[in-house]
Chain A
Amino acid sequence: MTNVVPFIYTNFNGIEIPWIEIQNSDGSSFFMTQKDYDAQQATLAANSAPTAQ
Chain B
Amino acid sequence: MSRAQLTSTVEQNTGGAVAPFLAGKNKIINGDYSIWQRGTTFSPTSAAQIYLADRWCIYQNGSGTFTVSQQAFDYSASPAADKLPITGYNPAYFTRLAITTLGTTSAFEYEQKIEDVKTFANQTVTISFWGKSPTSSGISFYYRQNFGSGGSSNVQGPTQGFTLTTSWQRFSYTVTLGTIVGKTIGAGNNLEIIFNAGIGANQTWDIWGVQVEAGSVATPFTTASGTVQGELALCQRYYYRMTNTTSDGYGVFAFGSATSSTSATFYITLPVTMRTSPTLIDTVVSNLRWADASVASTFTSFVHTDTPSSPNLIALQGLGSSGLTPYRPTWLQGNGVTTAYLGFGAEL
* A interface, CB within 8 angstroms of B: 1-2, 7, 9, 11-13, 17, 19, 21, 27-33, 36, 39-40, 42-44, 46-53
Q: How far is the CB of A17 from chain B (nearest CB, A)?
A: 7
- Whole-angstrom distance between the alpha carbons of A43 and B153 in the complex? 11
Which one, B83-91, B122-130, B275-283, is touching chain A? B275-283
Query: In the assembled complex, which residues on chain A have CB atoms less than 8 Å from the CB atom of B279?
Result: 32-33, 36
Describe B's contact surface by its main secondary structure: strand
- Whole-angstrom distance between the alpha carbons of A47 and B61 in the complex? 11
Chosen A-B contacts, 21 in total, with CB atoms closer than 8 Å, are A2-B46, A9-B319, A27-B284, A27-B287, A28-B282, A29-B285, A31-B283, A31-B301, A31-B303, A32-B280, A39-B149, A39-B188, A42-B149, A47-B144, A47-B146, A49-B47, A49-B107, A50-B196, A53-B138, A53-B140, A53-B198
Q: How far is the CB of B146 from chain A (nearest CB, A)?
A: 7
Q: Contacts A28-B284, A50-B196, A53-B198 given: A11-B107 contact, CB under 8 Å?
A: no
Contact of A21 among B46, B301, B305 (CB under 8 A): B301
Q: Contacts A47-B59, A52-B198 given: A7-B146 contact, CB under 8 Å?
A: no
> B55-76 CB contact bits vs A (8 Å, 1 = yes)?
0000111000000000000000
Contact of B281 among A32, A43, A50 (CB under 8 A): A32
Q: Contacts A2-B46, A12-B305, A19-B303 given: A50-B108 contact, CB under 8 Å?
A: yes
Residue of chain B at shortest CB distance from A23: B285
Residue of chain B at shortest CB distance from A19: B303
Query: In the assembled complex, which residues on chain A have CB atoms less than 8 Å from the CB atom of B303?
Result: 9, 17, 19, 31
Is B40 located at the chain interface by the 8 A CB criterion?
no
Query: In the assembled complex, which residues on chain B have CB atoms less than 8 Å from the CB atom of A39?
Result: 149, 188
Is B292 located at the chain interface by the 8 A CB criterion?
no
Q: Contacts A27-B286, A32-B280, A47-B144 given: A52-B59 contact, CB under 8 Å?
A: no
Q: How far is the CB of B167 from chain A (nearest CB, A)?
A: 22
| Tally of chain B residues near chain A (CB < 8 A) | 46
A53 touches B319 (CB 8 A): no
Query: In the assembled complex, which residues on chain A have CB atoms less than 8 Å from the CB atom of B283?
Result: 28-29, 31
- Whole-angstrom distance between the alpha carbons of A11 and B265 in the complex? 11
Query: In the assembled complex, which residues on chain B have CB atoms less than 8 Å from the CB atom of A28?
Result: 282-284
Residue of chain B at shortest CB distance from A44: B49
Is B109 located at the chain interface by the 8 A CB criterion?
yes
Q: How far is the CB of B129 from chain A (nearest CB, A)?
A: 16
- Whole-angstrom distance between the alpha carbons of A31 and B304 in the complex? 9
- Whole-angstrom distance between the alpha carbons of A12 and B279 in the complex? 17
List residues of B (135-162) whose CB comes within 8 Å of A's CBs.
Answer: 138-140, 144, 146, 149, 154, 156, 159, 161
- Whole-angstrom distance between the alpha carbons of A16 and B149 in the complex? 24
Residue of chain A at shortest CB distance from B147: A46
List residues of B (71-117) whose CB comes within 8 Å of A's CBs.
Answer: 106-109
Contact of A30 among B188, B192, B282 (CB under 8 A): B282
- Whole-angstrom distance between the alpha carbons of A11 and B254 in the complex? 20
Query: In the assembled complex, which residues on chain B have CB atoms less than 8 Å from the CB atom of A27?
Result: 284, 286-287
Q: How far is the CB of A21 from chain B (nearest CB, A)?
A: 6
Given contacts A28-B282, A36-B279, 17 further A-B contacts (CB under 8 A): A12-B305, A12-B308, A27-B284, A29-B283, A31-B301, A31-B302, A31-B303, A32-B280, A39-B188, A44-B59, A47-B59, A47-B154, A47-B192, A49-B47, A50-B109, A52-B199, A53-B107
